[in-house]
A = this chain, B = another copy of it.
Amino acid sequence: MSMSMSPEILLVGTGAVGSFYSGKLQQAGARVSALCRSDYEIVKKSGIAVKSVWGDFHFMPELVVNRIEDYKQKPDYIIVSTKVLPGIKPASIIAPAVAPGTSIFMLQNGIGVEDPVAAAFPKNEIISGLAFICVSRTSYGRVEHQDYGRLVIGRYPSGPSEKAGILEALFKKSGVPCEHDASVATARWKKLIWNAPFNPMSVLGAGADTMEMMGNPASRHLAKKVMEEVALLAGRLGHEITEAFIQKILDDTAVMKPYKTSMLLDFENKRPMEVEAILGRPLAIAKDLGISLPYMESLYGLLTIINERFIPNR
């Protein structure tokens, strides 16, 4: 089990989520290297300082590269946690580093993020991960973990996975609540139940926190309708999401400590927002199925106006 508990891992995407969880895997004994782009110089020199409600820590990757060709290992895992944006193609980025035994761990937001990678590497195992966490990169080399932190991971689209089990054990060893779910695709739709209304509404509500979004009947109505649309679509794809589940998410959100969504942080920093992952792809799937989802279409139309300013070269 020496490989098992100190696997070789390459992190692609040193944003908040990728840095936080990779640092945790390193704490548990994994050998973690990182591909960096704009933050290369800083991370190579000083690593990543993580301020966390669970205790601050420092993540210094074994090796920091800014061209993936400079990474010469055969990784047990590649963690993909780049932003989900039209211009970023994870399958192309990771291709030079994918070895026959590499498991590709997709730690990203939204729907359908695994499909292009699964298509590009049909012989490699895909592990899908969902992070329920409030964490943000405050500057290059600095990450702040404000709240939560639970992970759900599992083989994509479903089924058992020994290597997902190893990740689970490593995360638990480092103190991360991690659930190994053999139906991770369903879990991804369940996560969208929250993300689809509240990420968009926080931006479109001109910087609204959860308390404001749950603070009046008209916006609560909108949030619930968006959730029902996600559940309708998920159900058509075989992922059952009950009315009781939706009600619980609404109730939990109404009493949660007011906080800013990740999409709002992107907006405030004039970064492209993950509109396609959270709304565009589900709407495209719905269209293929002949389903109209007008509440989600409304949010999508509005966010697209804004995102066009941040993605000038499309």
Contact = CB atoms under 8 A, between A and B. Distances in A.
Interface of A: 201, 203-206, 208, 212-213, 215-216, 218-223, 225, 267, 294-295, 297-302, 304-306, 308-309
26 contacts: A201-B301, A201-B302, A201-B305, A204-B204, A205-B302, A206-B206, A206-B306, A208-B306, A216-B304, A216-B308, A218-B304, A219-B301, A219-B302, A219-B304, A220-B301, A221-B297, A222-B297, A222-B298, A222-B302, A223-B301, A225-B294, A225-B297, A294-B295, A294-B298, A295-B298, A302-B302
Nearest to A221: B301
B222 A308 contact: no
Contacts of A298: 222, 225, 294-295, 298-299
B225 A305 contact: no
Copies in the complex: 2
Nearest to A215: B308
B305 A215 contact: yes
B216 A305 contact: yes
A250 B107 CA distance: 41
Contacts of A212: 305, 308-309
Contacts of A300: 218, 222
Contacts of A213: 305
A271 B292 CA distance: 35
Contacts of A267: 206
B205 A305 contact: yes
